[in-house]
Amino acid sequence: MSLYSKRGVSAQKEEIHQAIRNLDQGLYPHAFCKLYPDFLGKNSQWVNVAHADGAGTKSILAYLYWKETGDISVWKGIAQDAVVMNLDDLLCVGIYNDLLFSSTIDRNKILISGEVIEQVIQGTAELFQSLKTYGIHIEYLGGETADVGDLVRTIAVNGTMTARQEKSRLITNEKIQAGNVIVGLASFGQSNYETSYNSGLASNGLTSARHDVLSKYYAENFPETYEPKLLDDVVYIGDKRLTDELELPAHGLNMKAPFKRSVGQLLLSPTRTFAPVMKEILERHFEDVYGLIHCSGGGQTKCLKYLPASFKIIKNNLPSVPPIFEMIQKSSGADDKEMYQVFNMGIRMEIYTSPSAADHLIRIAESYGVEAMVIGYVEKADKKALEIKTSRQIIHF
């Protein structure tokens, strides 16, 4: 049994998929988000979507960082995580503008002050204001903040995003075919629209990242941050403190020299949105985008869930693994297969396109400071399959 499973979490969410197996899959079953008839506008040529996601257990890291450093602004990053995990999923069906967002915050009032809630709400509003400068309009409708200390140990920050979209402007993944190449957008580095270096970790796999990297100091001093029934050998088994400083090599388009960051800064890098990049790609090259996959829960295996037919995905040109993932793997002892199932490993958005269009999409991404490259291709197969080539081995899924 993997450490991930021993901690009561699942990278593939098998039980969830089993529970929803009989539900209606929507108008386009291979699309990244479930799409419904236009109940709001009553227009047969449009669809509705309501998508829910959140920052997950990354809020526990923010809690620890806040308690250890006193830096309450860290909660603005959690606000961004909750928004982007919704927004970047919706990008994958072609939606990047005219969205509605409602937040859901559950807190233990004894531990989480009103100042924290203020930072989350303010951070959400500031992110929306920033995105407007790129022509991405999201209206903040408020939401629900509940004091439910009997349910949550610290705080859970989630949200729902709603939109309408014309059917003619949807990406449904049904056009993915053998011969496509996959352009991958990097999760790490510092884009032109970010104010600091992004480790690329995003908001998936944080249970593993937290427990594998951080030391027993956090179990002893902050028992509210983990399930007490977990065995001691899977709770905070690393050797790092959040304030430990690391020397990182130059990597990413805008990081030209070695630099330093704390462990906390790496683990808490706000999830990068690809909205500015994807807006331009979808406006200028919509016909060249055959499919989109957000490598969130399930990491580099996420693509298998959305293939429209029996194809084999071969990823033979992924970038060098960013330092954050090397640190997590070294701390946990996890093998390559588990790492690629849990984490994005440096690529968080996949664009399925033609070989002739790939360079155009790469140039657009890099004009925003987002590293991009052809990471693999699609071939015909008897069943859905995935092959990942790392520097050490070839992994089959």
At 8 the pLDDT is: 60
Partners of 37 in beta bridges: 47
Q: Would you say 89 and 32 are in contact if contact means Cβ atoms under 8 Å apart? A: yes
- C-alpha triplet 121, 122, 125: angle, nearest 5°: 90
Q: What is the pLDDT of residues 19-52, one digit of tens each?
A: 666 577 789 999 999 999 999 999 999 999 999 9
Domain annotation for the chain: domains and CATH numbers: 3-193+268-396 (3.30.1330.10)
Q: Which residues pair with 385 in a beta bridge?
A: 312
pLDDT tens readout for residues 75-88? 999 999 999 999 99
pLDDT of the residue at 25: 78
pTM score of the predicted model = 0.94
Q: Which residue has the tokens 């090259």?
A: 285
pLDDT tens-digit readout, 324-383:
999 999 999 999 999 999 999 999 999 999 999 999 999 999 999 999 999 999 999 999
Q: Give whole-number Cα distances, 305 to 81, 125, 169, 194, 216, in Å.
A: 23, 33, 22, 31, 37
Q: Are 100 and 163 in contact (CB under 8 A)?
A: yes
What does the pLDDT look like over 272-307, one tens digit per residue? 999 999 999 999 999 999 999 999 999 999 999 999
Q: Which of the 8 DSSP states describes residue 214?
A: B
Number of neighbouring beta carbons within 10 Å of residue 257 = 6
| 363: enclosing H helix or E strand | helix 358-367
Confidence of residue 391 (pLDDT cuts 50, 70, 90): confident
pLDDT of residue 20: 61
- Encode pLDDT of 180-234 as tens digits: 999 999 999 999 999 999 999 999 999 999 999 999 999 999 999 999 999 999 9
Q: Give the pLDDT confidence score for residue 255 in this predicted structure.
A: 83
Which residue in the block uniquely carries the two structure tokens 């998936």? 204
Asked whether residue 13 carries a pLDDT value surpassing 90, the answer given is no
Residues 87-146: pLDDT tens digits?
A: 999 999 999 999 999 999 999 999 999 999 999 999 999 999 999 999 999 999 999 999
Give 341's contacts (C-beta < 8 A, 6+ positions apart).
Answer: 11, 12, 298, 299, 300, 301, 397
Cβ atoms of 224 and 149 closer than 8 Å: no
pLDDT at 11 over 60: no
